[in-house]
Amino acid sequence: MASEFTKQANAKVFSELDFNDKRDFENAERGFIATYPDEYIPGKDYNSMCYNFKMTEFLDKECPETVNPSLWRQCQLNKKHGLFEVIKGKLYQIRGFDIANMSFIRGKSGWIVVDCTCTNEAAAAGLALLKKHIEDIPVSAVIITHSHGDHVGGYAGVSDGSVKVYQPKNCLKELVEENLLTGNAMDRRSIFMYGQNLPINPLGMVGCGLGHQLSHGVNSFHNQSSCIEVEGEKELEVDGIKIQFIETPGAEAPSEFVFYIPEFKAFCQAEEVNHLMHNLVTLRGAKVRSGQLWSYYIDQIIEKFGDDVEISFGSHNWPVWGNKEIVEFWEKQRDLYKFVHDQTIRYINMGYTPNEIPTLVKLPKSLEKEFYCRGYYGTLSHNIKAQYQLYLGFYDGNPASLDPLAPEEMGKKYLECFGEEKLIEIGKKAYTDGEYRWGVEVLNHVIFGNPKNVEARKVLADIYTQLGYAQESAVWRNIYLTGAFEIMGEKAKEFKANNTENLSIIVALTCPQLFEVMSTNIVPERIVDQSMIINFTFVDTKEVVCLVVKNCVVNVRTTLSKKANVSLTLTKMVLLGVIAKKVELKGLVMSGKVKCEGDPSCLMRLFGSVSTPERIFNIVEP
């Protein structure tokens, strides 16, 4: 349960924010029509659950002492699920079937779907609910606002591929590439960020800030050939509806746009404006985002649409109605990211380091008081570190930070210097005194020095638990509580949060991209002194690839070499089977399914050097 220090920290929150302000609850409930008729959306085999609505019922109660009250309030708002009317007969939303929303615009001939959640099952359930209660007409177009999987993965749940897909420039490319090389690590870290192994209750995962949680099911991908890519500012007519698109790349996502519907005076904010402080770097891992660029885009939106807008709706959370309320919302979101960016730069130029600046910067009261500027997802602390990383990288300028010992070596040195008993005693005192961050610092060294020390594990787990209970950020809470879960030896389960092994996404890779991924899994010791050139011709995709293997490195070219040691003619699906180790290349060559000219032993040596990373690797221990 919560310690006295945690209780005091959480109780203090009530005096810092206006919990009597119910406008968000009114907006989150406004226009409710109906929700899913059953307790859960079934998974693909009907023995599994895509999304369980019953799991959020505990949020109807008063905030417990084990949850930050501000986070509890946000999670109560996000738990509201179902079909909502935004503009009668014109604009509707499905919320609470996934971490992300689906929006529906009534076009001339059918429904224009805006984003389609993580999974086919969630998307199909949302569309079915819309058709049942509003109008049973076909989907006439799909709009994908940005290059993140929770807005793309349910495509096959709403479309058979026959309708046009509108997306920002390079959306598919960025979606694939963001998860391409480090997707395995992102998946593992996502288990921490989204609390996927935690119980869903006041002692565990209570939400994710942007929504309650990810849906689980089958993921799909739209075909690039059906896409209309939007670049810059462009007005298009989508099934009879005039839509003004503005591309906003490099802020919340590498590829993103927002759009305005003049006829409705409605603005789709995608994920550039939210009811929280978003990430300038996501803790699952991704490229750093610029707060300056993000704020610039929002300011453009204010300039262009601020005089006329009456509704602002997005890819997460709930809409805002009324021009005055919307413009103030936009302005403060704009200034939030600009403030974080500018103040980080100010302190950088005064010589402060990434760990020092978060202790010095405090939001102005005008921003801090607003629930939609609170750190339910991103936080002031890690967003400041993100801006430091953006400009200066990992090194803080101190020679002591240049080449530190690895955690295991450092841990063993601590044990040599101070002894395990003394360090555990210091850790216990830190816990008793409420100095939780100091306790983590000390006990982390003990566990990396001697992972078999059960007492250190228990004390550290208790500290992580109290840190989790006090967090306003849903993801910080999930990370701390998952750390406690795993440090006590609980086996991590495998969740594919970013879907990097999902066939639909892998199939979307070009053949050169597939080889680039393969090249990052080469074990150099297995190809020492190997020098070879291998040509591939793919008869189905009309692609050619040349691999140049030398110095334990595989370089990928998109033109064939006249000096190849071996040349293969095959299909992309055959290549996928070989990379996934579902079929043996040698057998395919011998059967004639792969045409081979030259020395086939080159192929065996190359593919024999490819390793497969472990899905679950240690994080909180060696």
d(CA 80, CA 102): 14
C-alpha dihedral (209, 210, 213, 216), degrees to nearest 10 = -160
CA nearest neighbour of 616 among 196, 30, 113, 168: 196
CATH number for the domain spanning 37: value is 3.60.15.30
Whether 377 is covered by a domain: the verdict is yes
d(CA 547, CA 607): 12
Residues 6+ apart with CB under 8 A from 414: 423, 445, 446, 449
CA distances from 217 to 14, 118, 157, 342, 495 (A): 38, 8, 11, 41, 11
d(CA 415, CA 422): 9
pLDDT tier, 222 (very low <50, low <70, confident <90, very high otherwise): confident
Residues 325 and 178 in one domain: yes
Q: Average per-residue pLDDT in the chain? A: 95
pLDDT tens digits along 131-147: 999 999 999 999 999 99
Which residue, of 341, 363, 388, is where some domain finishes?
388
pLDDT for 223 equals 74
Q: How many CB atoms lie within 10 A of CB 425?
A: 14
Which residue, of 332, 354, 388, is where some domain finishes?
388
Whether 497 is covered by a domain: the verdict is no
Specify the higher pLDDT residue, 548 or 587.
Answer: 548
pLDDT tens digits along 525-569: 999 999 999 999 999 999 999 999 999 999 999 999 999 999 999
Average pLDDT over residues 227-246: 97
pLDDT for 498 equals 39
DSSP annotation of 501 reads T
Pairing of strands 553-557, 543-550: antiparallel
Percent of the chain's residues with pLDDT above 70: 97
Whether 244 is covered by a domain: the verdict is no
Residues 58 and 207 in one domain: yes
Find the domain containing 547 and state its range.
509-607
Q: Pick left, alpha or beta for residue 164 (phi over 0 → left; psi -120 to 50 → alpha; otherwise beta).
A: beta
d(CA 251, CA 246): 13
Structure tokens given for 350: 């005064």
Exposed / middle / buried, residue 565 (Cβ in 10 Å: 0-12, 13-18, 19+): middle
DSSP 199-240: -SSTTS----SSSS----S------GGGEEEE-SEEEEEETT
Which residue, of 343, 367, 388, is where some domain finishes?
388
CA distances from 435 to 8, 427, 428, 438 (A): 14, 9, 10, 6
Whether 421 is covered by a domain: the verdict is no
Percent of the chain's residues with pLDDT above 90: 87
Using DSSP's 3-state secondary structure scheme, residue 535 falls into: strand
Number of domains in the chain: 2
pLDDT tier, 172 (very low <50, low <70, confident <90, very high otherwise): confident
* Least confident stretch, 148-152, 313-317, 365-369, 475-479: 148-152
Cα-trace Rg, the chain: 26
d(CA 233, CA 219): 30
Whether 200 is covered by a domain: the verdict is yes
Residues 6+ apart with CB under 8 A from 311: 86, 87, 91, 264, 265, 266, 267, 319, 320, 321, 326
Average pLDDT over residues 397-421: 98
pLDDT for 427 equals 98
pLDDT for 503 equals 59
Whether 480 is covered by a domain: the verdict is no
pLDDT tens digits along 424-474: 999 999 999 999 999 999 999 999 999 999 999 999 999 999 999 999 999
Q: How many CB atoms lie within 10 A of CB 177?
A: 17
Sequence-ordered strand ranges (E) for 491-580: 532-538, 543-550, 553-557, 566-570
189 near 183, Cβ under 8 Å?
no
pLDDT for 585 equals 85
Structure tokens given for 591: 């059967």
Main-chain dihedrals φ then ψ at residue 50, nearest 5 degrees: -80, -45
CATH number for the domain spanning 517: value is 3.30.1050.10
Residues 12 and 155 in one domain: yes
pLDDT for 496 equals 47
Using the predicted structure, report yes or no on whether residue 582 has a pLDDT greater than 60. yes
d(CA 35, CA 494): 30
What end-to-end distance do the CA atoms of the chain give, in Å? Answer: 28
Length of the chain: 622
CA nearest neighbour of 426 among 454, 401, 477, 463: 463
596 near 568, Cβ under 8 Å?
yes
Using the predicted structure, report yes or no on whether residue 351 has a pLDDT greater than 70. yes
Q: Residue 360, CB half-sphere, CA atoms under 13 Å: how many? A: 16
pLDDT tier, 316 (very low <50, low <70, confident <90, very high otherwise): very high
Tell me the residue type at 580: A
pLDDT tens digits along 356-398: 999 999 999 999 999 999 999 999 999 999 999 999 999 999 9
Whether 101 is covered by a domain: the verdict is yes
Whether 546 is covered by a domain: the verdict is yes
Tell me the residue type at 166: Y
